[in-house]
Amino acid sequence: MNSNAHKHDQSKRNPALPAGIVASCVTPFSSDGKLELSKIQPHVNWLIGEGVNGLSPLGSSGEFTALDSGDRQRVLDAVMDANAGRLPVWGGTHHYSTQTTIELSKHAQRTGASALLIVPPYYMSPTASQTMNHYRRIAEAVDLPVIVYHNVTLTNVDMRTHHLLTLFQEGAIAGVKMSNAEPDRICQLLQESGGALRVYCGVDSVAFEGLCHGAHGWISGIPSIVPRAARRMYDAIALRHDLPSAREQWAILSKLMRLQFTAYSTRGDGAHWFSVMKATLNMIGPPVGEPQPPIQPLEPEYYPELRRILTELGYACSS
């Protein structure tokens, strides 16, 4: 317990958990679905040039579910090489199996990752207490800060505020990426932890409110595809406390958020959030390929609106 307490104390001031904008690196694929590791270096350089405060490979945007363990390790190795120590890197080491998660986490530690981003075990819907034990076992096995990727929609596991605070107090976790459509979930965590737990806005629809509540950062779609614009809004709220300016910026960014989540919010047809992400990156940055099927490239009818939004945000778009 003493070692856990020591880990807990260190996590609160650990530079591995930066305030600001953390970009979810995407995984480049060729047209036949094979990894294109050579495209990771220019992608990482572009993200860093855009002003992000950290990198997070192998999250949802890294299509980790489409990769076996070996490919996940190769992607993380490539990101670490591309980053070359410039920014903190949160390795996505999630897996349904606790043992495989631990193996991936140990690999991330060996590569020099700064922290781990781990979604709860998916598909089998373990209970909250079973999920808490999953995180405890990971914390016992590795000596890196763990960020819970709280994503009820895609895992069907909902650890409530008291579950997360218990894990934090035990030293098993150091932060939470809150991908929940209820802004008050962010507010609760910040209030009840006294701001000690690092809490990040994990879905764009609650980013404005979450940052106004005092979230430590923002890691989701918008910071990963238009980081410079996301950084401007973060700075306006968190550093300058300039709410009028932030509202003006969100008036544009929210258009991108609504386009991104057309299908997600209606549970029907429309633009898929990840199709929008890769289309955007291909339009304004180094090419990153298309999503792995079954997710398809963005449909042509959405490109004119996407181009208008990106131009309004100050980006030059390729044809």
Predicted confidence at residue 31, as pLDDT, reads 87
Mean pLDDT by 10 residues, the chain (319 residues): 38 75 97 94 98 97 96 98 98 97 98 98 95 98 97 93 97 96 94 95 97 97 98 98 98 97 84 96 97 95 97 91
User: What pLDDT was estimated at residue 319?
Assistant: 65
Which of these CATH numbers, 2.60.40.10, 3.20.20.70, 3.40.50.300, 3.30.1330.60, describes 2-242?
A: 3.20.20.70
Q: Where are the domains of the chain?
A: 2-242
CA 187 to CA 243: how far, in whole Å?
A: 18
Task: Decide if 149 is catalytic.
Answer: yes
Known catalytic residue: 278?
no
**Catalytic hit among 135, 149, 200, 234:** 149
User: Cβ neighbours of residue 91 under 8 Å, at least 6 residues apart?
Assistant: 57, 58, 76, 104, 105, 108, 111, 113, 115, 116, 117
Query: Out of 177, 200, 234, 278, which one is annotated catalytic?
Result: 177
CB 274 within 8 A of CB 287: no
Asked if 317 and 284 count as a contact pair (C-beta separation under 8 A), the reply is yes
